[in-house]
């Protein structure tokens, strides 16, 4: 959640300091913001290929929060929401929930993108505008691939940040000075906030509601929207499948062998024989091509296959463990907990979809899903 030492509204006197100004914090742990204004404004940047569900969803989150504030006698405290786009005339406001008065964003939000980070060229044209808003006291916020835009400004260097787990490797390569924590759903660094996956806009929005209006208002908002409280960790959602984007034919043959014989006893020697290479040579080439040792690769694939079975069948965990090569389910249970942060039972409860795939109409054969 977005951390904040004071909450406007939980106790009206706690959120105001210095002749009625909103408490701020910068690098010393206090939030930056437009201190001379008590009412926040959330400026959402609509760049090309951005996720419109996030743009309108965040708008709705703050509208609901505003209505909930009114119900408890705090009407007028809610956040103003504006949308901004690049045009031939520069950056213009295309939507304003409270038109008629000058805009003064307290938060500038780059929503998720529906294309990979390298396809977000249009967003860069809005970067300078966002930096000007930061100079005026606004908090800059990046969600999912939108975090890449913030990282290119250098504002995240030597600071914590998160992004979508699928982009974490590329992000770390492009921005080595950033302290990336891809396990976190939301990371609040005071004057910069980053959030993880494509749907993390809801976690971000509710966290911001909590930061500005207090925990009780966040709970009222989330309950009205039938949404869970903000998640703190994206580890359960992270894919375990190793990368196969390489051109090493020997390693590719080894991968195919592993995939085909995943439910049997796999050894480095056996894979080396299947690929007509020396075990040490195969290990070296495998690590260079995939970033993982053979053992790590096999474990990742077994965890992914087991998780899929947990989510789509009603087979016992012991049966699933045997189907992916573990006679002792304890080892697989430990690996799933390490990779997802959930027990096998917890994973099935969270991601199970038997009603969608027929549940008892499926089974595992050789580690693969088949219909009975």
pLDDT tens digits along 251-282: 989 988 988 888 888 899 999 999 999 999 99
How confident is the model at residue 215, as a pLDDT? 84
CA of 60: how far to CAs of 10, 54, 194, in Å? 22, 10, 20
pLDDT of residue 167: 85
Q: Choose among 194, 191, 193, 188: nearest CA to 168.
A: 194
Q: Are 257 and 274 in contact (CB under 8 A)?
A: yes
- Please give the structure tokens belonging to residue 170: 């590329």
What token pair was written down for 77? 């405290």
The residue count of the chain comes to 372
Ordered domains of the chain (ranges, CATH): 16-237 (3.40.50.880), 249-371 (1.10.10.60)
- Please state, in angstroms and rounded to a whole number, the distance separating the CA atoms of residues 300 and 313: 20
Flag residues of the chain having pLDDT under 50. 1-36, 355-372
- Long-range contacts, stretch 326-332, CB < 8 angstroms, 24+ apart: 326/302, 332/302, 332/303, 332/306
CB contact set of 329 (below 8 Å; sequence gap of 6+): 317, 318, 321
Site of tokens 């974490």: 168
Cα(56)–Cα(52) distance, rounded to whole angstroms?
6
d(CA 354, CA 44): 38
Phi, psi of 139 (to 5 degrees): -85, 130
CA gap 85, 220 in Å, rounded: 31
Eight-state DSSP code of residue 231? P
Q: How far apart are CA 252 and CA 258, in angstroms?
A: 10
pLDDT of residue 170: 87
Give backbone dihedrals phi and psi of 51, rounded to 5 degrees, phi first. Answer: -80, 110
pLDDT at 47: 83
State residue 371's pLDDT score: 46
Does the pTM of the predicted model rise above 0.75? no
């Amino acid at each position: 959640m977005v951390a904040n030492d004071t909450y406007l509204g939980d106790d009206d006197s706690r959120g105001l300091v210095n002749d009625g100004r909103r408490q701020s914090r910068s690098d010393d742990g206090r939030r930056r913001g437009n201190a001379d204004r008590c009412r926040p404004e959330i400026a959402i940047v609509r760049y090309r290929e951005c996720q419109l569900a996030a743009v309108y969803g965040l708008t709705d989150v703050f509208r609901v929060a505003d209505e909930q504030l009114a119900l408890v006698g705090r009407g007028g405290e809610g956040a103003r929401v504006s949308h901004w786009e690049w045009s031939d005339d520069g950056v213009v406001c295309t939507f304003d929930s409270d038109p008629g008065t000058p805009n003064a964003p307290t938060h500038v939000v780059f929503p998720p993108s529906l294309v990979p980070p390298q396809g977000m060229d249009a967003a860069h044209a809005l970067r300078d505008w966002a930096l000007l808003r930061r100079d005026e006291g606004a908090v800059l916020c990046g969600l999912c691939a939108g975090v890449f835009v913030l990282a290119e400004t250098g504002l995240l260097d030597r600071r914590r940040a998160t992004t979508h787990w699928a982009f974490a490797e590329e992000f770390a390569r492009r921005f080595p000075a950033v302290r990336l924590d891809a396990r976190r759903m939301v990371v609040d660094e005071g004057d910069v906030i980053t959030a993880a996956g494509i749907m993390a806009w809801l976690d971000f929005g509710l966290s911001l509601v909590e930061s500005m209006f207090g925990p009780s208002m966040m709970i009222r908002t989330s309950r009205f929207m039938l949404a869970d409280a903000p998640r703190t960790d994206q580890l359960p959602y992270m894919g375990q499948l190793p990368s196969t984007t390489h051109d090493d034919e020997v390693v590719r043959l080894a991968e195919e062998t592993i995939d085909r014989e995943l439910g049997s006893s796999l050894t480095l020697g056996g894979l080396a024989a299947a690929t007509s290479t020396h075990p040490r040579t195969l290990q070296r080439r495998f690590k260079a091509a995939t970033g993982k040792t053979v053992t790590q690769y096999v474990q990742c694939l077994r965890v992914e296959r087991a998780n899929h079975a947990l989510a789509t069948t009603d087979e016992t965990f012991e049966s699933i463990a045997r189907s992916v090569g573990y006679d002792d389910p304890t080892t697989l249970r430990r690996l799933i907990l390490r990779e997802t942060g959930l027990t096998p039972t917890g994973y099935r409860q969270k991601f199970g979809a038997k009603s969608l795939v027929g549940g008892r109409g499926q089974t595992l054969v050789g580690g693969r899903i088949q219909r009975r």
